[in-house]
């Protein structure tokens, strides 16, 4: 059986193997990127869905348009205004999670061999998707202020990339946020070199400290930035609803490409999201999540303070992840099995690097585990690290 060449590039097995281990009873997982199960607005959504279907079942259960339900598009446009982004209806398309927004960017823009630049490290799912469309991925260095603009400029010149992928706020996997100056410079640099920016911003509402910087999209003067938002982290990932905001020529291509994927995002999911966002309950709900996650972040950071000298880590103002680096020479990949045997899991950082390496790094998720699990799991992690030093 001979499959398409594009699949030779992807396996995703490393991560899937990790998630298989999480099924083990009693396992404390810092590996996922899931919202806290106690933070879903269950009762509200149960009531909303019942009411929606009773009142407009014929519409919700029927085929919908590929661009998405216009009421929800209007809600997205309002949310974008609050972020400083002015979008028209034909500059927005509802997607089945921001994940689809990444896939549609690759499908509509990338020819085999096209170069994509991305933060090194970055979101594994995006790397897999770019590889599926046979792109060549080059990593751009980053530090605590996000992507290194000098390295970006160097690689824009060297590779003439078609696309630059970035998660500027509370980045996955590092939790870092790109500074305002760098956002402005990135928009200018990519414009000057004719590279489109894919700005993936699913975490921006999960801020626990510090001041928000405007999206790179707000510095986009020529439709060169595709902005992806998601409702997964603020309402529910299981509903699979996000949106892409971009130049209308790009949105038209997204629309054609989406027809051949899922035709349209499930109407019920779209209507639930729209109703909840306009119910007056969204803001207090997001505030509640942020308080809960801030406390979990602080609990994990408190434990990290007691880790052996030489272990460094990020101090994110929001999002779901802390990024830890062990002293040079230590190996979070080989150490992984020891941790799992001791009952705690993380994702070895090497998987997030387009060019691999960096075996001494790890991604720690603080949103999913309970406070008790965070305390216990971090103590286990600390002791395993100490054993390996």
51 backbone dihedrals φ, ψ, rounded to 5°: -65, -45
Q: From the CB of 380, what's the least distance to its own copies, in Å?
A: 24
Of residues 119-158, those binding its own copies (CB under 8 A): 125, 128-129, 132-133
**Options 29, 49, 172, 177; binder of its own copies; rule CB under 8 A:** 49
Nearer to its own copies, 61 or 192 (CB): 61
Nearer to its own copies, 360 or 373 (CB): 373
Which region, judged by CB under 8 A, interacts with its own copies, from 70-78, 107-115, 319-327, 347-355? Answer: 107-115
Q: From the CB of 241, what's the least distance to its own copies, in Å?
A: 8
Q: From the CB of 40, what's the least distance to its own copies, in Å?
A: 4
Nearer to its own copies, 142 or 272 (CB): 272
Which region, judged by CB under 8 A, interacts with its own copies, from 98-106, 184-192, 326-334, 348-356? Answer: 98-106
Of residues 60-89, those binding its own copies (CB under 8 A): 60-64
Q: From the CB of 364, what's the least distance to its own copies, in Å?
A: 18
Q: From the CB of 322, what's the least distance to its own copies, in Å?
A: 20
Q: From the CB of 269, what's the least distance to its own copies, in Å?
A: 5
**Options 14, 17, 46, 288; binder of its own copies; rule CB under 8 A:** 46
- The residue among 132, 116, 214 whose CA lies nearest residue 165 is 116
Q: Does 111 bind its own copies (CB under 8 A)?
A: yes
Query: Measuring CA to CA, how many Å separate 27 from each of 30, 307, 350?
Result: 10, 21, 22
Strands 321-325 and 312-313, sheet pairing? antiparallel
Residue 164 host element (H or E): strand 163-166
Q: Does 7 bind its own copies (CB under 8 A)?
A: yes
Cα dihedral sign, 35-39-40-41:
negative
Of residues 214-273, those binding its own copies (CB under 8 A): 223, 232, 235-240, 247, 249-250, 253, 256-257, 259-269, 272
Nearer to its own copies, 156 or 311 (CB): 156
Q: From the CB of 54, what's the least distance to its own copies, in Å?
A: 4
Q: From the CB of 379, what's the least distance to its own copies, in Å?
A: 26
Of residues 157-186, those binding its own copies (CB under 8 A): 162
Q: Does 103 bind its own copies (CB under 8 A)?
A: yes
> 3-class SS at 373?
helix
| Contacts of range 376-380, beta carbons closer than 8 Å, 24 or more positions apart | 376/28, 377/28, 377/30, 377/343, 377/344, 378/300, 378/303, 378/304, 379/303, 380/28, 380/339, 380/342, 380/343, 380/344
Alpha helices in 62-216 (DSSP H): 70-82, 98-109, 124-132, 149-159, 180-192
- The residue among 164, 228, 217 whose CA lies nearest residue 190 is 164
Q: Does 365 bind its own copies (CB under 8 A)?
A: no
Structure tokens at 146: 């996000």
Residues in the chain: 389
Cβ–Cβ under 8 Å, residues 69 and 92: no
Q: Does 107 bind its own copies (CB under 8 A)?
A: yes
Give the number of residues in contact with its own copies, rule: CB under 8 A: 80
Structure tokens at 243: 């949106």
């Amino acid at each position: 059986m001979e499959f398409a060449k594009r699949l030779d590039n992807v396996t995703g097995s490393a991560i899937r193997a990790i998630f298989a281990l999480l099924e083990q009873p009693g396992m404390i997982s810092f590996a996922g990127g899931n919202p806290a199960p106690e933070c879903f607005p269950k009762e509200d959504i149960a009531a909303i869905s019942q009411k929606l279907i009773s009142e407009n079942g014929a519409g919700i259960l029927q085929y919908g348009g590929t661009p998405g339900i216009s009421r929800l598009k209007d809600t997205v446009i309002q949310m974008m205004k609050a972020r400083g982004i002015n979008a028209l209806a034909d500059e927005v398309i509802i997607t089945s999670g921001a994940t689809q927004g990444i896939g549609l960017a690759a499908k509509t823009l990338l020819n085999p061999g096209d170069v994509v630049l991305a933060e090194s490290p970055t979101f594994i799912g995006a790397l897999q998707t770019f590889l599926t469309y046979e792109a060549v991925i080059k990593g751009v260095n980053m530090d605590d202020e996000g992507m290194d603009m000098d390295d970006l400029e160097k690689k824009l010149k060297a590779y003439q990339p078609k696309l630059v992928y970035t998660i500027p706020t509370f980045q996955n996997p590092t939790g870092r946020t790109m500074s305002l100056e760098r956002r402005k410079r990135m928009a200018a640099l990519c414009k000057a070199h004719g590279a489109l920016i894919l700005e993936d911003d699913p975490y921006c509402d999960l801020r626990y400290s510090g001041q928000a910087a405007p999206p790179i999209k707000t510095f986009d003067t020529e439709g060169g930035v595709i902005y992806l938002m998601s409702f997964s982290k603020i309402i529910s990932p299981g509903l699979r609803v996000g949106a892409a905001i971009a130049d209308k020529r790009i949105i038209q291509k997204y629309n054609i490409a989406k027809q051949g994927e899922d035709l349209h995002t499930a109407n019920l999911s779209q209507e639930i999201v729209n109703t909840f966002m306009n119910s007056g309950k969204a803001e207090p709900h997001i505030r509640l999540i942020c308080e809960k996650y801030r406390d979990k972040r602080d609990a994990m950071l408190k434990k990290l303070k007691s880790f052996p000298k030489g272990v460094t880590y990020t101090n994110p103002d929001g999002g779901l992840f802390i990024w830890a680096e062990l002293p040079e020479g230590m190996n979070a990949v080989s150490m992984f099995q020891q941790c799992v045997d001791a009952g705690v899991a993380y994702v070895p950082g090497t998987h997030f690097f387009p060019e691999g390496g960096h075996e001494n790094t790890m991604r720690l998720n603080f949103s999913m585990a309970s406070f008790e699990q965070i305390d216990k799991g971090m103590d286990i992690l600390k002791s395993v690290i100490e054993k390996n030093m």
